[in-house]
Structure 1
Amino acid sequence: MMPAATIVGAGIAGLTAALALTQRGSVVTVLERAPELAEVGAGIQISPNAGRVLDALGLGPGLDAVSLRSRGVRLWNSAGKPVATLDFLRHRPDAPFRLIHRARLIEVLAEAISKAGVILRLGERVETLPDVGLLVGADGLQSRVRRELNGTEAPFFTGQTAWRAVIDDPDPQPEVWVDAFLGPGRHLVSYPLANNLRNIVAVEERAEWQEEGWSQPGDPAQLRSAFASFRGPVPGWLDAVHDAHLWGLFRHRVAPRWHDDNRVLIGDAAHPTLPFMAQGAAMAIEDAWALAACLGTDPDQAKALARYQVLRQDRCTRIVAMGDANARHYHLGGLRQRVAHAALRSASTFRPSFLLSRFDWIYDHDPIAGV
């Protein structure tokens, strides 16, 4: 019999876990400190590995109605000249990459948990962790559950600050691509969203310390100034930015301890990642399925939680490390950039399948079959 569960946090991790646990017979309560599930955040990418979980939970049609299918990733230098193309649609035509506004994904999940009978308690600030049979810490970067399990930790400021913005995109292109423009000390990623919107994430190296989190307002004029040397469509996109948010990028270690006998971590609470592999939400979604599957197949809760960490820790650690490496590769300058970009152009032209296959271990992973 599935244990009753209390989940702290109603983000992507918490809501996906609530649905996965409920579908296996658990009685689930979700505690969220915000007074409502407001429209916050920006665009996210749902790669096929996470999409398999959402499809298995019955969310595929709802997601398809509010997302776009990406063909792949195009890399450009800051002058707007092509570097490489990763055509994921051609490489895996039956495995969609969905581009979606975070708020739309939250809406789909929230509707699903409501229909499933999950109890959602908004405006619940958890000052003291409740003593319950199963407590799931889906409470993000500042996780109280993580602190209880691992003690206080000091994250490391990477010297990088990111901007997020969503703009109107009244003239969408016939094909949907994620475009990444790479320059010395900075890069910018953009892609379209449903309802004629476009997501922008721009990362620059800067010495001053920024508070962690992505809710700080930023000055669009400063964003335009920081990327004034970028060409191609970038100036037009940035001219359309009216509201932007800033956040400092901090490196956290993957939590050594994910659980005890009745508390467990998922998502950013367990393995915060830098936004350079677009896998933060995907890992949280994978976690949610793995946790529910482990609890659903082993009546010994302590053993089920231990198995969950074994299944997830190495994969998440590897993805976090790959994101850390990309943070360096994206910002090369001078000779190092010319050499790296020449190698990417050559691989994209003459060995595209090799370039694409480097990511097979991420995108071809099937969380459903892996538990």
Structure 2
Amino acid sequence: MPGSLNLSVTIVGAGIAGLTAACALAHRGASVRVLERAGAIREVGAGLQISPNAVRVIDALGLWSRFESISLPSTRVELRDSGGALVAPLDLARHRPHDRFRFVHRARLVEMLETAALEAGVRIELGHDIRTLPTDCDLVIGADGVKSRIRPLLNGFESPFFTGQSAWRALIPSEPDAPPVAQVFMGPGRHLVSYPLAGGLRNIVAVMERPDWQDEGWSQPGDPQDLRAAFARFGDPVGGWLEQIDEVGLWGLFRHPVATHWFRPAGHEPAVALIGDAAHPTLPFMAQGAVMAIEDAWVLAACLNRKDLSASLSRFQSLRRPRCQRIVDAANANARNYHLTGPARTVAHAGLRMISSIAPGQLIGRFAWLYDYDPTKVA
């Protein structure tokens, strides 16, 4: 990567988006400071699925060997009904043999990015609860997540709406011989996703349509018994997994619009840009939230040019907004498809079984637009 970007950059937020951007910018020669509200970069969240479009960025940052050591390969996605019967397999190893799909614990990924950023000369300052926009830099990047304080400065205050769905997230010990497969169990009004993680863990995310709601975020404790009751009609292995859960997080799923304005040109104050969930929060039904953040970070760094910062940021928005909107729309559609009931569910599952039998590569082929994208080709 070129190392001639003579910019002073302050990034607000030390999550996946902010730390990836810090690495990419530092390697290009920028002076980078990351401000994080928390007093420590804590282990939060659980499992993530990282598809090849993001792995290309990790590789370009020189972090592939580290990432490989903290993650597991993902070779297949299995769509199953609530009884456990296979509806359709998406054979990643067979139909996309040259791509790298991985499972990783979010905390391990953040830890890796934090170490890499510090090695690249990035300053990470903890305990900064940002109330006003930093002014001692050329560019401020809002990477402060779904409850961003930077986004309203560009887009005004917006009210997300509750989707009528809540999600539980939990970790349990994994079976020693667990196959490297993501399994999606689909039932009326609810579904559950599970896959193994490095370190002998299994990630579980369960989503249910319900009229009440919980706050956004991962910090709300849930009741494991409520989760078991909600999925009591699901067959094994789901029932066995849920019996092992001692602690579970619960959060409401809210739909946010993709931001209209992703940047503000420099004036009396520094230029401002948004990346990650601050720009495009998404429902967790395409496994692309962290992936989009990683893509954003690289593309923003690749676009920046000190001679015309406003044009650079405009190009960044024009490159990223349409793609992120398409991903968000696809996630919204999956929220419906996973929870079908009655005759619609029967017909849809029969169609999936037929397609996977006649043309097994067609289902995964529908996502070529997603996985073939290479952010590192942005000049």
TM-score by length of 2: 0.96
- Deviation of 1:362 (Å): 0.3
* 5+ long unaligned stretches in structure 1: none
Q: Do the aligned residues in 1 keep the contact of 2:37 with 2:130 (CA within 8 Å)? A: yes
Task: Indicate whether 1:7 and 2:16 are aligned.
Answer: no
Task: Indicate whether 1:191 and 2:177 are aligned.
Answer: no
Task: Indicate whether 1:161 and 2:170 are aligned.
Answer: no
Task: Indicate whether 1:23 and 2:21 are aligned.
Answer: no
Pairing of 1:48-127 with structure 2 (within 5 A): 48-127=52-131
Task: Indicate whether 1:149 and 2:154 are aligned.
Answer: yes
Question: Could you say which residue in structure 1 is the equivalent of 2:325?
Answer: 317
Figure out how many residues of one structure are paired with residues of the other and give that number: 369
- Deviation of 1:299 (Å): 2.8
Map Cα deviations across residues 173-205 of structure 1 (whole Å, 9 max, x no partner): 2x3100000000000000000011000000000
The 1-side partners of 2:242 and 2:307 are apart by 54
Map Cα deviations across residues 308-348 of structure 1 (whole Å, 9 max, x no partner): 00000000000000000000000001110010000000111
Task: Indicate whether 1:279 and 2:326 are aligned.
Answer: no
Identity %: 58
SS in structure 1 opposite 2:319? helix
The 2-side partners of 1:245 and 1:232 are apart by 22
The 2-side partners of 1:65 and 1:214 are apart by 26
- Deviation of 1:2 (Å): 3.0
Q: Do the aligned residues in 1 keep the contact of 2:302 with 2:378 (CA within 8 Å)? A: no
Q: Do the aligned residues in 2 keep the contact of 1:172 with 1:196 (CA within 8 Å)? A: no
* Among 268, 275, 288, the residue aligned to 1:266: 275
Q: Do the aligned residues in 2 keep the contact of 1:275 with 1:323 (CA within 8 Å)? A: yes
Q: Do the aligned residues in 1 keep the contact of 2:48 with 2:287 (CA within 8 Å)? A: yes
Q: Which amino acid aligns with 1:270?
A: A
Q: Which amino acid aligns with 1:160?
A: Q
Pairing of 1:321-340 with structure 2 (within 5 A): 321-340=329-348
The 1-side partners of 2:131 and 2:349 are apart by 50
Q: Do the aligned residues in 2 keep the contact of 1:259 with 1:265 (CA within 8 Å)? A: yes
- Deviation of 1:170 (Å): 3.8
Pairing of 1:167-182 with structure 2 (within 5 A): 167-173=172-178, 175-182=179-186
* 5+ long unaligned stretches in structure 2: 266-270
SS in structure 2 opposite 1:54? helix
The 2-side partners of 1:29 and 1:145 are apart by 16
Task: Indicate whether 1:345 and 2:350 are aligned.
Answer: no
SS in structure 1 opposite 2:214? coil
Task: Indicate whether 1:355 and 2:366 are aligned.
Answer: no
Question: Could you say which residue in structure 1 is the equivalent of 2:313?
Answer: 305
The 2-side partners of 1:149 and 1:139 are apart by 14
- Deviation of 1:138 (Å): 0.1
Q: Which amino acid aligns with 1:156?
A: F
The 2-side partners of 1:158 and 1:316 are apart by 19
Structure 1 stretches of at least 4 aligned residues deviating more than 2 Å after TM superposition: 170-173
Q: Which amino acid aligns with 2:332?
A: D
Q: Do the aligned residues in 2 keep the contact of 1:2 with 1:299 (CA within 8 Å)? A: no
- Deviation of 1:171 (Å): 2.5
Question: Could you say which residue in structure 1 is the equivalent of 2:268?
Answer: none
- Deviation of 1:40 (Å): 0.9
The 2-side partners of 1:36 and 1:248 are apart by 25
The 1-side partners of 2:28 and 2:6 are apart by 7
The 2-side partners of 1:140 and 1:111 are apart by 21
Q: Which amino acid aligns with 1:348?
A: S
